[in-house]
Structure 1
Amino acid sequence: GAVRGKVVKTTVPDTSAPCPRDKVNRVFRAPAPNLLWVSDFTYVSTRQGFVYVAFVIDTFADRIVGWRVSRSAKTDFVLDALEQALHDRRPVQKSGLVHHSDRGGQYLSIRYTERLAEAG
């Protein structure tokens, strides 16, 4: 197939920002629900331009547990996807749930990391 249009880079790592330790070690499968959630976002081309789609996946069943669509790649929409996952799944604090994402600025933002800490 032909690829048209420009490529949009969704992950722009900030190498100067402190990055949390990798607790997953490339093992993206959990033995039970609500033990490992992975988050990312991408873009989807539409007839009226492209939109960003953020998602949170529970790796136990490879199920999307939170998602949002936005025209902007700001922190708000990835935070909304996390809020949906937290609301729908209601993980117990101190249960050992690990959240894994790339080093994109949205996931290392103060608001996102504070919300993760608040959720336990």
Structure 2
Amino acid sequence: KQLINILDEQFNPLRPNAVWCIDTTYIPVHDGFVYLTSIMDLYSQRIIGWDLSETLEVSNVIPLIEKTKHSRHISKPLIMHSDRGSQFTSEAYN
């Protein structure tokens, strides 16, 4: 599957809910890691959704996106920018 760089490093959308950025951060805890996945609206540069989980799997990401879209009343497609992490390149995510 060929990827297209739609944003071309233009990270200043002209309206809310046009471009979201999603990423996962590892947080060390006493017996390993937990994983914080957050979604930022690039227009406001604010976190609009997040999930804390014990696994780094796409099964945590999809519900987060759906929950965030629902809370923002989004029904139209939007651009979701991410790195090439395994949860963002999986077949379920795409």
Q: Using structure 1 for the length normalisation, give the TM-score.
A: 0.70
Residue 80 of structure 2 corresponds to residue 111 of structure 1 = no
Asked if the contact 1:36–1:58 (Cα under 8 Å) also holds between the matched residues in 2, the reply is yes
Deviations 1:37-83 (A, max 9, x none): 11110111223432011111110111112211111101111222212
Asked if the contact 2:18–2:79 (Cα under 8 Å) also holds between the matched residues in 1, the reply is yes
**Matches of 2:75 and 2:24, distance apart in 1:** 25
Counterpart of 1:76 (choices 37, 59, 84) is 59
**Matches of 2:38 and 2:66, distance apart in 1:** 11
Q: How far did 1:88 drift?
A: 0.7
Asked if the contact 1:53–1:67 (Cα under 8 Å) also holds between the matched residues in 2, the reply is yes
Q: Which runs of 5+ in 1 are unaligned?
A: 1-17, 114-120
Q: How far did 1:104 drift?
A: 1.6
Give 3-state SS (helix, strand or coil) of 1:51's partner: strand
Aligned to 1:28: 11
**Matches of 1:100 and 1:19, distance apart in 2:** 15
Q: How far did 1:92 drift?
A: 3.5
Deviations 1:12-44 (A, max 9, x none): xxxxxx352111111222111011011110111
Counterpart of 2:70 (choices 82, 87, 99) is 87
Aligned to 1:54: 37
Number of equivalences = 94
Runs ≥4 in structure 1, deviation > 6 angstroms?
A: none
The AA in structure 1 aligned to 2:29 is T
Q: Which has the higher strand share?
A: 2
The worse-fitting range, judged by mean Cα deviation, of 44-53 and 57-66 is 44-53
**Matches of 2:67 and 2:45, distance apart in 1:** 16
Q: Percent identity among equivalent residues?
A: 32
